[in-house]
Amino acid sequence: MKTTVTVREYARLTTGNIPNPTLDVAQVSPSAFDWLCETSSRFSKAGAALVQVEGRRWLKLDNYVGALETPCGTRIEILPKHFEQGDCIQQSRALLRRMIQKSLDLPTRKVGATALQRFDAPLTEWVMSSFLEALDHLIKRGLRFDYQRVEEEQRYLRGQLNTARQMRQPPGRQHQFQIRHDIFQPDRAENRLLKTALDIVCKTTQDPSNWRLSHELRSMLLEIPSSRDTTQDFKQWRHDRLMAHYQPVKPWCELIIQQQTPLAIAGEWQGISLLFPMEKLFERYVAACLRDSLPPDATLHTQRSSEYLCTPAFFKV
């Protein structure tokens, strides 16, 4: 059974017993504690800080927000440290989703009664639910098929006869035809990526509604193979007019497959991990909000290297 631990930035984690856990102090299993220590050392070598080790029994989280899953099944949800009163968890989750959606320019879904009831779900379940909703809408509109050239040996003629290969047939196999023909099938880069993301959701979701919908959709995509090279398939994702109805599902597919983490920790543990540096997320969120409020003839430039908040003249004595 997977355990979910909800904390916020700079919270402290321990393996000892915590009678009254809060958003700032929580207990994790020894295996999760050890995995966080190992992951932290790899983060530090790459110039990032995930946690700070405080003795043998305490860890202090840094300024990353999102969700992290350990090999033992512990899910750690890290929320922004923003609200102090009221329902802090629900308000912080809503704020984090709003910032991620605005910063990454994710499609905004229509909020209905069901969405309102599920609004307090953890971050990973929200991402998976949004992906499943977009994929369900895409399948109802229809998947794109493509022609693929197949060269094979058959006892009958189909398509074109491969004359060069047929002439090289040995006498004992001249009754077999070397043919080439096209097959109209859904095996294309976009569909392979969707199948890969759907497989991840089926294995990791804990929400009953997500589990049921993901397996229903999976049964509809049985003939589509999973992607063997996601990087190359994302490069082959087409954006022409015929693929316009695929665009709403692509950002969610990228979030699930690529998993926004400072390092590729998913290579060793196949779990859902979505971590965002809070200061970078806040900068992009502010920039996106300012860009929406600008007049039509104005342009917003972010992180201009030619501009400074302070100059050496300010520090002259």
- Single-letter amino acid code for the residue at 90: Q
In the prediction, which pLDDT does 264 show? 36
Residue 112 confidence class, pLDDT cut points 50, 70, 90 = very low
Name the least confident of 30-39, 115-124, 212-221, 282-291. 115-124
In the prediction, which pLDDT does 271 show? 58
Q: Report the candidate in 251, 282, 276, 266 with the shortest Cα–Cα distance to residue 127.
A: 251
Q: Is residue 99's pLDDT more than 80? A: yes
- Single-letter amino acid code for the residue at 108: T
Q: Is residue 106's pLDDT more than 80? A: no
In the prediction, which pLDDT does 238 show? 92
How do the domains of the chain map onto residue ranges? 1-112+259-296, 121-145+187-258, 150-185
Q: What's the CA gap between 188 and 147, in Å, rounded? A: 9
Query: Structure tokens of 139?
Result: 């399948």
Residue pair 159/147 in contact by the 8 Å Cβ criterion: no
In the prediction, which pLDDT does 296 show? 85
- Report in angstroms the alpha-carbon separations of 135 from 87, 191, 273, 296: 32, 10, 21, 34
Residue 263 confidence class, pLDDT cut points 50, 70, 90 = very low
Share of the chain above pLDDT 70, in %: 84
Q: What's the CA gap between 275 and 77, in Å, rounded? A: 10
In the prediction, which pLDDT does 137 show? 93
CA-based torsion, 286, 289, 291, 296: positive or negative: negative
pLDDT tens digit sequence for 50-61: 778 777 788 888
How do strand 25-27 and strand 51-54 relate by DSSP bridges? Answer: unpaired
In degrees, rounded to 5, the angle at the alpha carbon of residue 273 between the alpha carbons of residues 272 and 275 is 155
Q: In the chain, where do the E strands start and end? A: 3-8, 12-14, 25-27, 51-54, 58-61, 64-69, 74-79, 146-154, 160-161, 177-185, 274-277
Residue pair 135/217 in contact by the 8 Å Cβ criterion: yes
pTM to 2 decimal places: 0.71
pLDDT tens digit sequence for 172-195: 888 888 888 888 888 899 999 999
pLDDT tens digit sequence for 10-48: 899 998 888 888 889 999 998 988 888 887 777 666 566
